[in-house]
Amino acid sequence: MAEDPKLNNLFNKLDNNRRKRVTLQIMVWILVFFLSLSINSYWYVNPIIVIIVWSTIGIIVTFIINYYYKKEEIQILIQIKQSALFNKKDKKETKTM
């Protein structure tokens, strides 16, 4: 990764953020799948309606998860960019001295 510990920490934070987001999305879709199966087996409802309702709920929750974690990712990427620019300036100053 990077030789700077701060940059390395930010890259790890970014990677962990992406892993959490994907894990949450998978958990939501597994939950949607099992809820649609359980409701369909206990209630005598049209299975297509149950699947459409739970899929819509899953899509909405997935968008909320994406929005929250993408917002965090953008902040981390801005910090990485600022840190990289600061390190670049610092290296140039040490070369000129």
Establish if 92 belongs to a structural domain.
Answer: no
pTM of the model as a whole: 0.67
List the domain range (segments joined by +) for residue 61.
Answer: 10-87
pLDDT class for 1, splitting at 50, 70, 90? very low
- Element spanning 1, H or E: none
Establish if 94 belongs to a structural domain.
Answer: no
Establish if 4 belongs to a structural domain.
Answer: no
pLDDT class for 84, splitting at 50, 70, 90? confident
Sign of CA dihedral 7, 10, 16, 19: negative
Place of tokens 């965090």: 72
Establish if 61 belongs to a structural domain.
Answer: yes
Query: Mean pLDDT, to the nearest integer, of 34-53?
Result: 75
Establish if 46 belongs to a structural domain.
Answer: yes
Is the distance from CB of 28 to CB of 61 less than 8 angstroms? yes
- Element spanning 23, H or E: helix 5-42
Establish if 96 belongs to a structural domain.
Answer: no
Q: How far apart are CA 12 and CA 20, in angstroms?
A: 12
